[in-house]
Structure 1
Amino acid sequence: MQQFAHLAQRMFNRPLAIHRDKAEIVISALAERLNITRMVNLDGMAIEPMAFSFDGEGYEYRDRDCGYDRAGPVAIIPVQGTLVQKLGSLRPYSGMTGYDGIRQAFLTALEDPDIEAIMLDVDSPGGEVSGCFDLVDTIYGARGKKPIHAILSDGAYSAAYAIASAADKIAVPRTGGVGSIGVICMHVDFSKALTSAGVQVTFITYGDRKADGHPEIPLSKEALARFQEDIDTMGELFVGTVARNRGMSAEKVRGTQAVTYMGEKGVAMGLADVVAAPDAAFRSLLAELA
């Protein structure tokens, strides 16, 4: 029950940049997954914060996972499943990927002298807002140091699209998709269920708005207005970030109204650069490096 409550806190009453359909699936299948508190390899061994060190003469690699796979001179970083701020794993774990793992893998690949380009292997409906745009800014700020390509194996929606948009180039397959540039927050009201069960919850607070948003009480008009203002602020941050990353006007991005676009329509909207199967997009990246 304690772990269920912990995951519920990650999904309810907080802003999410996630595709609506995926949000519904996750809500219906909550499980005890996010109780990881430190960065570990999949074998459970704790890892150090950097992939390699510089000893003054050359790079010395440590025998551990650096968070990405190598295909020739290209680092392949997975951005898959539901995205969360802190997963504590360099790799996707139980259907989730952490912004913390993506960041560490990306920065490691950026400094790896044997890596000439970085590929973001994206297949995700999005996830948490917290931590997303800081990661996006990190990737965007690294443009020009090494080629960065987002190659979608299916879809990049919401927070996942924000990450993909930071790359130099986005390739989407014919049946894949991009978009869902928006923010959603789901408030759950348990007050009637508690009353029916004979449970009365009394909040004793300091501050008139201290209990706003708690699921044990109905959401007041004042609380709804305040939360809507926060969501609007995050939504405008999302719009501005995509507009900057893709060289589009904020009006055009805002005008998508969080719609998703399949394949060619995504390219036509300016949200992707080319329609290509993942293997073809990867070969194209290798050809650019040759």
Structure 2
Amino acid sequence: MQFAHLAQRMFNRPLAIHPDKAEVIMAALGERFGITRMVRVDGQAIDVSASMFDDEPYEYRDRDNGYDMAGPVAVIPVHGTLVQKLGTLRPFSGMTGYDGIRQAFLTALNDQAVEAIVLDVDSPGGEVSGCFDLVDTIYAGRGTKPIQAILTESAYSGAYAIASAADRIYVPRTGGVGSIGVICMHVDFSKALTSAGVQVTFITYGDRKADGHPEIPLSAEALERFQADIDTMGELFVETVARNRNIAASKVRDTQAVTYLGAAGVAQGLADAVAAPDAAFRALVAELA
């Protein structure tokens, strides 16, 4: 994937991703775009340095359905940064596409050899676009076959939204759930361009057409409008988790995007049990026997 295309998908748009992962991605792209400092809305400046994703590409099989069969159970990987369209059925280059997850899930749901579906989740989340449509697809599959989310460490933000659509969620002792919120990183290149002797002139139709462009500072009006959009998406997130987990929306909202480790997530109603992934899987197989 070209870096410019990746930058378009990461900057100046809402993300359902853990803030720490967002900073790692900024660091990975920073050197290539001349970014050395990132400023949060709260005014805190963060130094970033070159870093690359540490996830290894997934090796494909011929005629792959997007899931592995472990006995009668289809195991669908939900790993790394989540994006709307990756064009592959499996995680690749540290990312998983909602398109691939959806295809794998629907195939498994209609596969007569599959008696249950496991979402193997280890992800900090990713793009908002496409996330909640996928969540609704998984939620609608409840009752057709058992669907369980077995975390192979953590499910944060968009990844937690996906996990919440399952019938049950198992989290390991050192794994985490939560980060139920939305974040947007606006990059302002205006001072850098001015220092380089570059002046950008926008010729627009519509007073707000250039809002959010990185070549100009973010105006108060634009910030207010973008915050309203983020709030709307955040409320959708809250309502979706409340529906999926059958808990009050106010309780979900009150988490304020906090992350919870292991048993603390269970206490909050965001997971059903603390269990090592292999133990959770064996329990599911025993139920099917």
TM-score (norm 2): 0.89
Whole-angstrom distance in 2 between the partners of 1:30 and 1:137: 32
The answer to whether structure 1 residue 164 and structure 2 residue 163 are counterparts is: yes
Give 1:30 shift.
Answer: 2.9
Aligned pairs, how many? 263
| In 1, Cα distance between equivalents of 2:252 and 2:159 | 16
Residue 82 of structure 2: SS of its match in structure 1? strand
Separation (CA, whole Å) in 1 of partners of 2:84 and 2:29: 17
SS in 1 for 2:227: helix
| Structure 2: distance between partners of 1:107 and 1:7 | 28
Other-structure match for 1:279: 278
The answer to whether the aligner puts 1:243 opposite 2:234 as a matched pair is no
CA contact (8 A) 1:42 1:89 kept: no
Q: Supply the distance in 2 between the matched residues of 1:97 and 1:169 (Cα, whole angstroms).
A: 22
Partner of 1:267: 266
Where 2:269 maps in the other structure, the secondary structure is coil
Matches within 5 A, 1:50-61: none
- In 1, Cα distance between equivalents of 2:104 and 2:95: 15
| Residue of structure 1 in register with 2:3 after alignment | 4
Report SS of the residue matched to 2:210.
coil
Listed one character per residue, the Cα deviations across residues 256-278 of structure 1 (whole Å, up to 9, x for unaligned) are: 00000000000000000000000
> Aligned-pair distance for 1:27?
1.1
Q: Deviations over 1:145-188 (max 9, x none)?
A: 00000000100000000000000000000000000000000001
Name the residue aligned to 1:183.
Answer: 182
Q: Is 1:19 matched up with 2:18?
A: yes
Residue of structure 2 equivalent to 1:82 = 81
Q: Does 1:226 align with 2:225?
A: yes
Q: Which residue in the other structure is 2:67 paired with?
A: 68
Secondary structure of the corresponding residue to residue 30 of structure 1: helix
Cα distance in 2 for partners of 1:22, 1:78 equals: 19
Q: Secondary structure at the match of 1:208?
A: coil
> Given that residues 151 and 172 in structure 1 are in contact (C-alpha distance below 8 angstroms), is that contact kept between their aligned partners in structure 2?
yes
d(CA) in 1 for partners of 2:275, 2:231: 34
Q: Which runs of 5+ in 1 are unaligned?
A: 33-40, 46-62
| Offset at residue 5 of structure 1 (A) | 1.3
Q: Which amino acid letter does the alignment assign opposite residue 279 of structure 1?
A: D
Separation (CA, whole Å) in 2 of partners of 1:261 and 1:11:
25
Equivalent residue, structure 2, for 1:132: 131
Q: Shift of the alpha carbon at 1:42?
A: 5.7
Where does structure 1 differ by over 3 angstroms across 4 or more consecutive aligned residues? none
Where 2:145 maps in the other structure, the secondary structure is: coil
> What do you get for the CA RMSD once the two structures are aligned?
1.5
CA distance in 2 between counterparts of 1:86 and 1:177 reads 26
Matched residue, 2:172 = 173
Deviation at 1:3, TM superposition (A): 2.0
What are the residue-to-residue correspondences of 1:103-142 with 2, within 5 Å? 103-142=102-141
For residue 116 of structure 1, what is the amino acid of its counterpart? E
Q: Which amino acid aligns with 1:67?
A: G
How far off its partner does 1:288 sit? Answer: 1.1
Write the distance in 2 (CA, Å) between the matches of 1:26 and 1:198.
Answer: 28
Distance 2:211 2:59 in 1: 39
